Amino acid sequence: MKKLLFPIVLVLTLAVGCLPALLAANQPPTAYIDSVSPANAALGETVTLIGHGVDPDGTIVAYNWQSSLDGDLGALASFKTSSLSQGTHTIWFKVQDDKGGWSKEVLTTVIVVPSGGGKPVVNLFEANPGRIVPGGPSTLSWSVSGAATVSIDQAIGNVALSGTRAVSPTKTTTYTLTATNVVGTVTATAQVVIAELLPSNVILYSIAAEDGQVRRDGYVSQEPDVGDTKSGTAIQAFLSFDISMIPEGATIKSAALDITAAYSLGEPFSKLGMLFVYDCQYQTLGATDFVIGPVPGALQTIPNPPSQPIASYTLTTAVQKRVDAGSPRFQLRFQFEKPQFYNSQADYLDLGGGRSRLIIEYQY
């Protein structure tokens, strides 16, 4: 019995002692890209790729470089190539150990641009609008040709060759776009200015050469009279103001019409009723500018000869509308509630070409 048991125990001991060695796993190697130079290359230019590998339980026996555009590139730790095609290459690198295990791939980027080209061209870089209130919105727009990389400062970073980006600076800010390729670097700037909302006042006298009147019978002249003639023909007056000095983007705080320099012939207010003031962008006066009967939408209604400028919300809104549209003119039509009063007497208000005023307060 002792002779039978001894061999069995010896075999079991050997088997157990050998088990850890049989089950030990290969530890994979690690790949490293040391350098790829230049990272921005011209077509046909030589690019040098250098890498290495580390294996904790063996040695490195093989290398592999691949390109997302050109496929397999090389099987050495380091090599040179001048055959990379034009475009943006993702370069992968891995190594193999002496037990057949491959490392995970590591990667880098190489950009190849056409040979013989020049520096990048910035076709467009602008901010719109270029003037905002603090924290207001503006949009940067850009378009670049021939660049390998494009970036914008002020914490925006790398961007595509063309695009837009919304910005809302709280102070006047200059944005710098930098475009780079293998030939060189160019920059461009766009500025967003923060408007100082300071109040401004303007007093605008009507333009005598553009003021005038249109009668019911089609007669047109430059005297801005409103009322009726001795024969009872209705007259409507027109005033024109130059608002081109008010910057587009301004906020109209108030607008007041001052016709206190006008004088009356006869009794226009007692005979013809209230005076209505309308927004009327007539440009050049003609017979068709006469409007039959008062219509809704008057900016102001004046019951008596005014002794001071008259302000209204509707007048302010009308001026704002013209400023927002970039119009150089603000024009008005005047007509009485009753078109005429047959008393064989002329009853009209002479607004006096160039004597009437528009008083505007705005912020910009």
- Share above pLDDT 90 across residues of the chain, in percent, rounded to a whole number: 76
pLDDT of residue 320: 97
Residue 62 in domain: yes
pLDDT (average), residues 6-18: 42
State residue 285's pLDDT score: 95
Q: What is the mean pLDDT of residues 245-253?
A: 89
CA dihedral for 158, 162, 164, 167, sign (positive or negative):
positive
Report CA-CA distances (Å) from 101 to 33, 75, 95: 18, 16, 8
Q: Is residue 175 part of a domain?
A: yes
Do 43 and 131 have their domain in common?
A: no
- Is residue 356 left, alpha or beta, with left meaning phi > 0 and alpha meaning psi from -120 to 50? beta
d(CA 195, CA 172): 8
Evaluate whether residue 127 is within a structural domain: yes
- Assess if residue 235 is contained within a domain: yes
Q: Is residue 307 part of a domain?
A: yes
Mean pLDDT, rounded, of the chain: 90
Does pLDDT of 17 surpass 70?
no
CATH code of the domain in which 203 resides: 2.60.120
Among 174, 194, 214, the domain boundary falls at 194
Assess if residue 21 is contained within a domain. no
Nearest of 177, 182, 40, 175 to residue 122 by alpha carbon: 177
- Band of residue 116 on the pLDDT scale cut at 50, 70, 90: low
What's the CATH code of the domain at 51? Answer: 2.60.40.10
Q: What percent of the chain has pLDDT over 70?
A: 92
Residues 303 and 353 in one domain: yes
Q: Tell whether 212 and 344 lie within a shared domain.
A: yes
Write the CA distances from 328 to 159, 242, 247, 319, 324, integer angstroms: 40, 6, 10, 11, 11
- For residues 355 and 347, what is the distance between their CA atoms, to the nearest angstrom? 20
Predicted local confidence at residue 41, as pLDDT: 83
Report pTM.
0.51
What percentage of the chain's residues is helix, strand, coil (to nearest 5)?
10, 45, 40
pLDDT for 221 equals 96
For the record, the structure tokens of 272 come out as 């013809």
Residues 6+ apart with CB under 8 A from 270: none
* 99 and 140 share one domain: no
> Do 59 and 109 fall within a single domain?
yes
Q: What is the pLDDT of residues 183-208, one digit of tens each?
A: 889 999 999 998 776 678 999 999 99
Domain-ending residue, one of 146, 162, 194: 194
Q: Judge if 354 and 237 occupy the same domain.
A: yes
Q: Are 237 and 352 in a shared domain? A: yes
State the DSSP H helix or E strand holding residue 273, giving kind and residue range, or none if neither. none
Judgement on whether residues 219 and 160 belong to the same structural domain of the protein: no
Q: Which of 34-38, 130-134, 323-327 has the lowest mean pLDDT?
A: 130-134
Q: Residues 15-34: what's their mean pLDDT?
A: 70
CA distance 18 to 136: 76
pLDDT at 247: 87
Arithmetic mean of pLDDT, 9-18: 41
Q: What is the average pLDDT across 41-68?
A: 93
- Judgement on whether residues 66 and 164 belong to the same structural domain of the protein: no
How far CA 69 is from CA of 47, 111, 267, in Å, comes to 15, 11, 91
Question: Across residues 202-230, what is the average pLDDT?
Answer: 96
Regarding predicted confidence, which is higher, 86 or 140? 140
Residues 142 and 64 in one domain: no
180 lies in which domain range? 121-194
Same-domain check for residues 290 and 328:
yes
Quick one: 212 and 351 in the same domain?
A: yes
Quote the pLDDT of residue 197: 66
State how many domains the chain has. 3
Residue 356 lies in a domain: yes
* 95 has pLDDT over 90: yes
E strand or H helix at 16: helix 2-23
Residue that terminates a domain, selected from 96, 113, 130: 113
Answer whether residue 25 is part of any domain: no
At residue 20, the pLDDT reads 46
Report the 10 Å Cβ neighbour count for 296: 4
pLDDT tens readout for residues 302-321: 999 999 999 999 999 999 99
Average pLDDT over residues 205-232: 96
More confident position, 253 or 1: 253
